[in-house]
Amino acid sequence: MTGFNKKMLIFASQKTFLNFYCMIQSMTGFGKATIVTCNKKLTAEIKSLNSKQLDLTVKMPVLYRELELELRNTIAREFGRGKVDVYITSETIDNAAASQLNVELLGSYQRQVQAAASELNLPQPQDWWSTLLRMPDVFKPDANLVAAQQELDAVREVVDKALQAAVDFRSQEGRRLDVFFRQKIEAIGLLLDNLTEYETTRVEKIKARLLEALSQLEQVDYDKNRLEQELIYYIEKLDITEEKTRLRNHLNYFIETLDSGHRQGKKLGFIAQEMGREINTTGSKSNHAQMQQIVVEMKDNLEQIKEQVLNVL
């Protein structure tokens, strides 16, 4: 068993609670929570997808707008980056506290629709109520009602619960990605080990092929010592020892970065790029059918890593 394989077995056995807590997170997540308070049912939904930067959208009732900046900062600190959509809704349970129609806004919408219909030569709506009631902010809370501190605290609480659910989702996806990455890194390491058995025979075959080609040339005299020097120079150019060493270091560094904690997605992506350079150079130098097949398999595993590393926070 190679040192690399032993190391992979050690990594596989270290699945403690601390490892899971510090493990990478996916940028894909979803969380939802509901709280009933102050005659209202508050619901918060948070969903996130992968993105290079933080793209945060918060949609919430006007009554709670004073909390928007606070909630944005809380979510931004937790998520770091990704495309995050937050939806907060409030449903009145007690009819006594029901919202009222915003008559002035309804009138403004109606005049705008009439003007647009006239300018564009389009028919006006046949059912005005159905059209106007779908417009934004046509309902407004009673002017005498304001969001009590208890209600604002409930909004904070429901967002915190949804946020925690989304984080748990991302952590679960992160654990799946962690296992996936380790399997692919181990596969590349095993393929790298398999290159060794072909290196010695490859050099001998190249040398024999060149000598055979020279022997077929008639009446050609050459300096055998100079030929030997040229062969050594040529074979040294095909040597992949340095590429193998650097690739091995990149594989180990990738695993070390996985173990170092979450929010390492960009770093893992950079390491994967360096791995690709070494694999490509190895392929260009191999000049051997079996070795090139191994390189193709290594590239296939690496491409799968690159696809999934885009989802890592």
pTM: 0.68
* H helix runs in the chain, sequence order: 3-13, 17-21, 68-79, 103-120, 128-132, 149-194, 196-215, 224-237, 241-259, 265-286, 289-309
Tell me where in the chain the CATH 3.30.230 domain(s) lie. 25-99+145-170
pLDDT at 39 over 70: yes
The two structure tokens encoding residue 147: 């969001």
pLDDT at 156 over 60: yes
Any idea what the Cα angle at residue 77 is, between residues 73 and 82, rounded to 5°? 100
Report pLDDT for 16. Answer: 36
Instruction: Report the SS3 class of residue 300.
Output: helix
Of 237 and 115, the structure prediction assigns the larger pLDDT to: 115
Q: At what angle do helices 149-194 and 241-259 cross, to 10 degrees?
A: 160
pLDDT band at 102 (very low <50, low <70, confident <90, very high): confident
Q: Quick: pLDDT tens for 169-209.
A: 999 999 999 999 999 999 999 999 998 888 777 766 776 66
Q: What's the whole-number average pLDDT of the chain?
A: 82
Which residue, 267, 263, 296, is CA-closest to 279? 296
Report pLDDT for 147. Answer: 60
What fold does the segment set 25-99+145-170 form as a domain?
Ribosomal Protein S5; domain 2 (3.30.230)
Least confident of 70-79, 92-101, 113-122: 92-101
* Distance separating alpha carbons of residues 186 and 163, to the nearest angstrom: 34
Give me the percent of the chain exceeding a pLDDT of 90.
41
Report pLDDT for 20. Answer: 40
The two structure tokens encoding residue 53: 């930067």
pLDDT at 213 over 80: no
**Bridge partners of 31?**
46
**Which phi and psi angles does 26 have, rounded to 5°?**
-80, 155
Report pLDDT for 143. Answer: 46
